[in-house]
Every structure is written in structure tokens, then in C-alpha cells.
């Protein structure tokens, strides 16, 4: 928190308007929900559910409090999508499901 009792990463460039209209608790709540969505997406990716992770990262990009946060969410969404595509391609090329999962996990781990 900074000295004005606002989040260090304001929700967009309309922070003052949001604070006046909704109160700082509301804008901080929005940031917490965004963070929870990102963590949920990471959990899905770690559980190899790359389709759900892609969707959640994409949704999280629209609620990111900063431009860099939005870009990070979009990058993670692409990474999860790439992992799913790697899995599907491995299966299409007659790889076993276990091998396809290993390939997908390796693709996901590339972004970390």
C-alpha cells in the first residue's frame, strides 16, 4: 500500500474515479478477484487442463490492473494453448497418451 491507502498497482487509469465511485475496498476486491483467477488458471495448467487454463488466463487478461499484467495473462494464455496444441499434435502423430502429456508439460514449462 502507498501513503494514500491505494493499491500499488491501480486498476487501470481510472483509479481515482473508481475509488470515489466504489471505494478503495471495491477496487482492491477487484484486484483480489483478478489474482484469484490467475492462480486458478495456473492450477488448471499444472493439472494439465490446458483448455480451461487458456480460457481463464484470457478472461484474467481483461481484468488485469496494469498493461503489463494484461500482457502477462495473454502470454500465459498462449503458453497454455501451445501446451494443449503440443499434446494434440503428439497424439495425432501416434504418440502414447503418456508421451503426449510429457510433451505438453514440457511446452507449458517453457514459459516458466
pLDDT by residue (tens digit) across 60-100?
A: 999 888 888 899 999 999 999 999 999 999 999 988 999 99
Percentage with pLDDT > 70 across the chain? 75
Task: Label residue 50 exposed, middle or buried (CB < 10 Å: 0-12, 13-18, 19+).
Answer: buried
Instruction: Enumerate residues 6+ apart whose C-beta is below 8 A from 54.
Output: 77, 80, 81, 84
Helix (H, G, I), strand (E, B) or coil at 64: coil
Average pLDDT over residues 1-12: 44
Place 4 in a pLDDT band, splitting at 50, 70 and 90.
Answer: very low
| pLDDT recorded at residue 56 | 96
- Would you kindly state where each structural domain of the chain is located, as residue ranges? 12-109
| pLDDT recorded at residue 30 | 76
Place 15 in a pLDDT band, splitting at 50, 70 and 90.
Answer: low
| pLDDT recorded at residue 70 | 92
Amino acid at each position: 500500500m502507498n501513503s494514500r491507502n491505494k493499491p500499488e498497482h491501480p486498476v487501470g487509469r481510472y483509479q481515482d474515479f473508481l475509488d470515489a465511485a466504489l471505494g478503495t475496498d471495491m477496487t482492491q476486491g477487484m484486484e483480489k478477484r483478478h489474482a484469484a483467477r490467475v492462480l486458478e488458471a495456473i492450477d488448471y495448467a499444472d493439472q494439465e487442463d490446458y483448455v480451461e487454463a487458456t480460457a481463464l488466463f484470457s478472461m484474467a487478461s481483461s481484468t488485469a490492473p496494469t498493461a503489463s499484467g494484461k500482457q502477462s495473462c495473454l502470454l500465459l494464455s498462449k503458453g497454455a494453448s501451445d501446451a494443449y496444441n503440443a499434446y494434440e499434435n503428439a497424439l495425432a502423430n501416434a504418440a502414447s497418451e503418456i508421451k503426449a502429456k510429457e510433451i505438453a508439460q514440457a511446452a507449458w514449462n517453457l514459459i516458466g
